[in-house]
Structure 1
Amino acid sequence: MTVTRRELLRASALLGAGGALLGASGGITACTTGDTGRQALNAALGPRRRGGVLRIGVTGGGAQDTLDPHHPPTYPDQARVSNLYEPLFGRDAAYNIEPVLAESLEPAEQGRTWTLRLRADVSFHNGKPLDADDVIFTLRRIADLPGTGAAALRVVDMAGLRKIDARTLRIPLTVPYALFQDDLAQYYMAIVPTGFDLAHPVGTGPFRYGTFTPGRISSFPRNDHYWRADQPYVDELVIVDFPSDDARVAALLSGDVQAIDNVPPGQINDVKAAGATVMASESGAWTPFTMRVDKAPFNDVRVRQAFRLMVDRDQMVSQALAGQGRIANDLYAPFDASYASDIPQRRQDLAQAKSLLRQAGQAGLRVELVTSSGIGSGAVEAATLFAQQAKGAGVTIAVRTVDSATFYGSDYLNWVFAEDYWYTRNYLPQVAQGSLPDAPYNECHFNDQRFTSLINRARGELNPAKRAQLLKDAQRIEYDTGGYIIWGFKNQLDAYTNKVTGFVPDRNMPLSSFQFRTISFV
């Protein structure tokens, strides 16, 4: 790609968590861990310039784009809902839980009942004050949707929700659940007002609804009555969908947008040479290969085990991610205190893979692998590299690359062999999204009764040590028989021009978890 813009790097020393800034010199500026990287950054920057239209280029998107805060499956959807709406709790840059619309959440009855206290003086975009009725309405809306958050709220006794006063709510659970706050701290758990109408979306976020053209562009004027009185800094936020990596990078280098997510590792040098800053955030994000355990050939556990043994994980990280990541062990949630780090690291073993395939009657196997650049940086490269590695075990993988709209269209979650992306999460929230029989994104169609039993027991276990052991036992089942090939955790690579400031490395989601309220022009 030809680089047309040549600007000097505006180097900034930022405070963040597990990240670095890559400048034009090629060096890496490390970032230290703070309580909340975004707060520390804003304090260090001092007075900020106000005004301007901030344009952000985001990976993927298509005709099925949505503004639904409780079912945002793609990067552009997540960027939009993160600025229109807000949850009760969120995550800081170091992936610690922090209050957002909530002031506190206190357990009783050994975690079977929770009392929620709301922040004062918060209003929706239409002027309605936030109160407990909105939380009740939201929780019931989420539970009634076949989307992202419903699985996490199955433990809530919806009929028993009780408003104590305008700012206080009693939330009863059907079983004790010590980690309930973690489920509420997800980006798809945003609070909406009673009577919410998706045709006229209203939230409490730093930006309000302006225009929305699915698959193309959306605009959000500043919320002048935002409860964080000094934010946001820009007058308007514009989010542009970019299914193509090259088009997204070109838009940054030409100045059409001020920041982009998911910089392809192979284009880091082009971006830096143009004077932009590449922000690398160490995260728990993963781009797995997904094998449907209920469809041939992957309904034979020996085939799944063989495919995991075909992967050269070090080569995946060094080539597909250009070194911007670290190897994984077919397990997710690396920042969880219960992460099963004691399970031996799986390594490439082509001889054993061949033996397993022979035992399964699948020697010389041929399969199709579906991927898309809309999955994120390194996905297509990883698929291509895995196809080369699989040849060593006598397996032929035909890589089929489709656009984002096709991948996340009607066949999504039904591909027999594909890829996908997941952000950083702790173990139980991730299981609720992707690994239980009724999980909304169970793309592997995994259904193991012992696994489900362990998860249910862990949810109700209040003793941290006992809960950790149950979760480690569950991880062992997924390691041995699950449908994921989790070869690495990738650094989140984003970039921004020297015209804006306020981004900080973040362990959670791209572009400082899409918190554009903190961004200003220099």
Structure 2
Amino acid sequence: MTDPDLPQPNPFPGLRRRGFLAAGGAAGIGALALTGCSGTSGPDDGSTGGGARAPRSGGRLRAAFAGGGASETLDPHLGNLFADAARGKALFDKLADYGPDLAAVPRLAERWEPDAGLDRWTVTLRKAEFHDGRPVTAADVLYSYRRMADPRKAYRARASLEPVDLDASRAVGARTVRFVLKRPTAEFPNVMAAFGTYIVPEGAEEFDRRPVGSGPFAFVSFTPGRTTLLRRNDAYWDGAPHLDELEFVVANDESARTNALLGGQIEYAHELSPTTGRAHEGSGAVEIIRLRNSAMQAFAMKTDRPPFDDPRVREAFFHLADRQELVDGALSGAGEIGNDLFGKGYEYYAGGLPQREQDIGRARSLLREAGAEDLEVTLDTSAVAAGFTEAAGIFRDQAARAGVTVHVRPGSKDSYWKDILDSGTLCCYRSGAMPIETHISQRLLTGSTTNATHWRDKDFDALYQQAQSTRDKQDRAALYARMQRRLHAEGGFLVWGFGDWIIGTARSVHGVERDAPANTLDWARFDKVWLA
């Protein structure tokens, strides 16, 4: 998801860029396509055992995020920014969410069970209450899903709910929903865990004055573009939070967030740059937390037009890339190399495929076979995301070693994602964490609406439908592996790396999960965090 980069009032007057640069310097980092903090790990993380501190109750934690200005809303179905997602997670619950490996885990749904055909799913809710004391019911779930699916509204979750026939779905008990699907969908739990699929009370439409959810924190006050104050929900089904209060503050400038953290005005700073992380890691002043494998970094080749309609040219480009050089130069080393596949370390990832390495000789040979020895291509890039312009320059120099001329074309930050979807032939691309199945369905099927590589293959589509119709998980994994072998051999994504997501906290903050990528349950999750 993208940050609109709107000018905002500075909630930290006196913390200007000059002051931060004097303290050590930082480069800005753009926002990802969304992704989650609970338990802890490590010798000084506040977890119990090994002499570490036990959780304690009390206090207010102040967390700074980039925001969206006066247009901000607490409507959980309208959110589109990291700040929206973090506030939504504090106030509301979903039926399911993503674990560290991007597999769906139960939340408001206590359990789910498909029928033999995988097109009927029975979901049983756990006993939970909204902040006003009303129980969460099947009627609330159906109302929420039907609201999100309203074609007249710009609710982000609408696309995720496309497989569900909400007219035919029914409540079959106070806490039981029978979902009817339009086709077999083995990964229906991913639908329940999708971004923005929060459950709200039946009939709820007004959220900015006094939103009522079932989340770990309840509403106190909200000033769009500035602050949101929440208090502990003592009746939360997953256990009352340790914190008394949670305050979200808006700071669009990364240096303002860093300065506020260093100055003790906040305790949690979201989305720090690799430069900032490196400058303060191990300094003792603050804690730097790296959420690994949070952002796929890639070049997207349009497979339906020259020169990339020839699979030999695509394979040649796979061999042009020095992935470690790209990670070191474009991400300042804050990440690890990729292997031309999305989802490294996630459920169903084909980790057994050989790691691609730079091979200029092989690249030259493939280009000769394709009659493209003196190839010239234009690489679209933009400052819309951290490392994009740097990656474009590095890859231009790498390609030159094989006689390929890459012309780097900078684009608008405001319209870049829309511009590259259908125009051009080669572009810089990035994605946040999501299940591999979701990545395939949204980006790699003939009918996918965000198919940036224009990969359209009927046999590939058929494999996906076969996987969705396969009940046995091991058999389904084998089908996903076949699909990934195809993509590794001739797909349109040159995935060169996976970037870290960097968070800064005060030394007094404990309980922040270190092993979860962004966009998962344990990112920006504050009900398990405490202050010591």
TM range, smaller chain: 0.7 to 0.9
Q: Provide the C-alpha distance between the structure 1 equivalents of 2:244 and 2:452, rounded to a whole number of angstroms.
A: 39
Name the counterpart of 1:79: 86
Q: Structure 1 residue 484: deviation in Å?
A: 1.6
Name the counterpart of 2:33: none
Name the counterpart of 1:195: 203
CA offsets 1:89-129 (integer angstroms, 9 cap, x no match): 12345656432211221233353322211121321x56543
Name the counterpart of 1:90: 97
CA offsets 1:441-495 (integer angstroms, 9 cap, x no match): 3333432222111101110012334322321222123223433221122333222
Name the counterpart of 1:363: 374
Q: Provide the C-alpha distance between the structure 2 equivalents of 1:387 and 1:490, rounded to a whole number of angstroms.
A: 20
Q: Provide the C-alpha distance between the structure 2 equivalents of 1:266 and 1:478, rounded to a whole number of angstroms.
A: 33
CA offsets 1:127-146 (integer angstroms, 9 cap, x no match): 54321112112233344457
1:155 aligned to which of 142, 163, 174: 163
What secondary structure is seen at the aligned counterpart in 1 of 2:250? strand
CA offsets 1:168-197 (integer angstroms, 9 cap, x no match): 111233444333223323343222233343
* Correspondence 1:436 to 2:456: no
Q: Provide the C-alpha distance between the structure 2 equivalents of 1:276 and 1:91, rounded to a whole number of angstroms.
A: 28
Cα distance, 1:78–1:310 mapped onto 2, change above 3 Å = farther
Cα distance, 1:418–1:86 mapped onto 2, change above 3 Å = farther
Name the counterpart of 1:115: 122
What secondary structure is seen at the aligned counterpart in 2 of 1:439? coil
Q: Provide the C-alpha distance between the structure 2 equivalents of 1:73 and 1:360, rounded to a whole number of angstroms.
A: 45
What secondary structure is seen at the aligned counterpart in 2 of 1:287? strand
Aligned partner of 2:180: which letter? P
2:288 aligned to which of 273, 278, 282: 278
**1:91-490 → structure 2 map (5 Å cutoff):** 91-93=98-100, 97-123=104-130, 125=131, 128-144=134-150, 148-197=156-205, 200=208, 202-208=212-218, 210-211=221-222, 213=224, 216-222=225-231, 224=233, 227=236, 228-231=238-241, 233-242=243-252, 244-272=253-281, 273=283, 275-283=285-293, 285-294=295-304, 298-357=308-367, 359=370, 361=372, 363-372=374-383, 375=385, 378-393=387-402, 394-398=404-408, 400=410, 403=413, 405-407=414-416, 411=419, 413-414=421-422, 416=424, 417-490=426-499
The answer to whether the Cα contact below 8 Å between 2:184 and 2:468 also exists between their aligned partners in 1 is: yes
Cα distance, 1:62–1:346 mapped onto 2, change above 3 Å = farther
Name the counterpart of 2:4: none
Name the counterpart of 2:514: 505
Cα distance, 1:369–1:277 mapped onto 2, change above 3 Å = same
CA offsets 1:256-276 (integer angstroms, 9 cap, x no match): 432223432233332233611
The answer to whether the Cα contact below 8 Å between 1:157 and 1:173 also exists between their aligned partners in 2 is: yes
Q: Provide the C-alpha distance between the structure 2 equivalents of 1:477 and 1:258, rounded to a whole number of angstroms.
A: 46
Q: Structure 1 residue 71: deviation in Å?
A: 5.9
**1:41-52 → structure 2 map (5 Å cutoff):** 45-52=53-60
Q: Provide the C-alpha distance between the structure 2 equivalents of 1:255 and 1:470, rounded to a whole number of angstroms.
A: 51
Q: Which has the higher helix share?
A: 1
The answer to whether the Cα contact below 8 Å between 1:55 and 1:256 also exists between their aligned partners in 2 is: no
CA offsets 1:232-268 (integer angstroms, 9 cap, x no match): 61423214253x5444434433444322234322333
The answer to whether the Cα contact below 8 Å between 1:207 and 1:220 also exists between their aligned partners in 2 is: no
Q: Provide the C-alpha distance between the structure 2 equivalents of 1:362 and 1:75, rounded to a whole number of angstroms.
A: 44
* Correspondence 1:2 to 2:11: no
Q: How many residue pairs align between the two structures?
A: 488
Q: Which runs of 5 or more structure 1 residues have no equivalent in the other structure? A: 6-13, 21-28, 32-37
Q: Provide the C-alpha distance between the structure 1 equivalents of 2:99 and 2:294, rounded to a whole number of angstroms.
A: 14
Q: Structure 1 residue 48: deviation in Å?
A: 2.0
The answer to whether the Cα contact below 8 Å between 1:506 and 1:513 also exists between their aligned partners in 2 is: no
What secondary structure is seen at the aligned counterpart in 1 of 2:200? coil
The answer to whether the Cα contact below 8 Å between 2:302 and 2:492 also exists between their aligned partners in 1 is: yes
Cα distance, 1:185–1:30 mapped onto 2, change above 3 Å = farther
Q: TM-score, normalised to structure 1's length?
A: 0.80
- Give the superposed CA RMSD: 3.7
The answer to whether the Cα contact below 8 Å between 2:217 and 2:232 also exists between their aligned partners in 1 is: yes
Cα distance, 1:212–1:177 mapped onto 2, change above 3 Å = same
Q: Which runs of 5 or more structure 2 residues have no equivalent in the other structure? A: 1-20, 26-37
